[in-house]
Chains A and B, each alone.
Chain A
């Protein structure tokens, strides 16, 4: 990672979060199916240029902390056919996350 400034990480592994529900125009890397959904931080992956800015040939700085967030399948899909322990992990940039209620 180069020396360009990165925003400080707001969340730590184990923190409950919620993905913001938003539909801004442009190039987004936040899948629709997790928007507005509660999850838990699995790990901090580092800080990377914001892809929503890169898509328009802008530098994407300051870099955004990127997390892996774990979601319960049965929360995401009310009719999920598998057991309650099944999960999905998705990379989410910090500006899409807000603190969530502990489950």
Chain B
């Protein structure tokens, strides 16, 4: 709702309309290009015109980006839970251990941080929105919001509570601010009652948010 929209008001403050009145629709915000949108189109068209890239290259790059998903991260976590030797390698050198599973680690170095009964890790990028895209896919919108970026580092326990994650006072909360050339993946704690589960079943318990550190891995049903 924009500031100059005459209907930028709330309806819970004694504001009423006659029966049958319909609010005018809010204006679309996609009817003109932003500065960077215009620049992106101009650069892309120039590169295409000069035959440096083809439209198919752009499409392929977008498809490759979107093919990455939290399922890859879940596979890494499940394998680390199932194989202690792999977990040790993953914590020592995230990029190399991820490559072992056939997952391309990407241009940045991956650091895997392990949650324990005494330590809870949380990942944020206060300066922009650095995110381990190669193992988790594109970041959720809230991860890029100013709200999360400023508060995760300033009042992490309150932010965690808003995600339904209560951390006891005796547990250290360690925030990782991803500011430069490292990317972070949280290895959540393995839930109780999962000793007999296969790796594929374990992976189903590992959601995206648990690998950012705002939640825990799910408990098995039943």
Q: Is the interface of B mostly helix, strand, loop or mixed?
A: mixed
Does B180 belong to the interface (CB within 8 Å)? yes
Question: Interface residues of B, CB < 8 Å — how many?
Answer: 23
Given that A81-B157, A87-B172, A91-B182 are contacting pairs, would A31 and B177 also be in contact in the complex, using a CB cutoff of 8 Å? yes
Give the docked Cα–Cα distance between A94 and B180 (Å): 12
Does A89 belong to the interface (CB within 8 Å)? yes
Does A90 belong to the interface (CB within 8 Å)? yes
User: For A30, A81, A88, which residue has the most chain B Cβ atoms within 10 angstroms?
Assistant: A88
Given that A68-B182, A82-B157 are contacting pairs, would A89 and B127 also be in contact in the complex, using a CB cutoff of 8 Å? no
* Residue interface mask B79-97, A partner, CB < 8 A = 1: 0000000000000000000
Of the candidate stretches B26-34, B148-156, B199-207, B212-220, the one touching chain A is: B148-156
Given that A31-B126, A46-B109 are contacting pairs, would A93 and B180 also be in contact in the complex, using a CB cutoff of 8 Å? yes
Give the docked Cα–Cα distance between A30 and B156 (Å): 20
* Residue interface mask A33-45, B partner, CB < 8 A = 1: 1000000000001
* Residue interface mask B154-179, A partner, CB < 8 A = 1: 11111000000000011011111111
Does B175 lie within 8 Å of A45, measured CB to CB? no
Closest residue to A27 on the B side, CB-wise? B127
> Hey, which chain A residues are within 8 Å of B173, CB to CB?
73, 82, 86-87
Does A86 lie within 8 Å of B181, measured CB to CB? no
Of B154, B157, B169, B180, which one neighbours A51 at CB under 8 angstroms? B180
> Hey, which chain A residues are within 8 Å of B169, CB to CB?
82-83
> Hey, which chain B residues are within 8 Å of A56, CB to CB?
none
Q: How far is the CB of B117 from chain A (nearest CB, A)?
A: 14
> Hey, which chain A residues are within 8 Å of B126, CB to CB?
31, 33
User: For B109, B169, B177, which residue has the most chain A Cβ atoms within 10 angstroms?
Assistant: B177
Does A66 belong to the interface (CB within 8 Å)? yes
Q: How far is the CB of A41 from chain B (nearest CB, A)?
A: 14
User: For A46, A77, A90, which residue has the most chain B Cβ atoms within 10 angstroms?
Assistant: A90
Does A30 lie within 8 Å of B179, measured CB to CB? yes
Give the docked Cα–Cα distance between A89 and B152 (Å): 12
> Hey, which chain A residues are within 8 Å of B127, CB to CB?
29, 31
Does A89 lie within 8 Å of B180, measured CB to CB? no
Closest residue to B173 on the A side, CB-wise? A86
Does A90 lie within 8 Å of B177, measured CB to CB? yes
Of residues 58 through 96 on chain A, the ones whose CB sits less than 8 Å from some CB of chain B are 66, 68, 73, 77, 80-83, 85-93
Give the docked Cα–Cα distance between A88 and B126 (Å): 12
Of B155, B170, B176, B181, which one neighbours A81 at CB under 8 angstroms? B155
> Hey, which chain A residues are within 8 Å of B176, CB to CB?
88-89
Does A88 lie within 8 Å of B153, measured CB to CB? yes
Q: How far is the CB of A43 from chain B (nearest CB, A)?
A: 9
Given that A81-B157, A81-B158, A86-B156 are contacting pairs, would A29 and B180 also be in contact in the complex, using a CB cutoff of 8 Å? yes
Q: How far is the CB of B186 from chain A (nearest CB, A)?
A: 13
A-binding residues in B (CB < 8 A): 109, 111, 126-127, 153-158, 169-170, 172-182
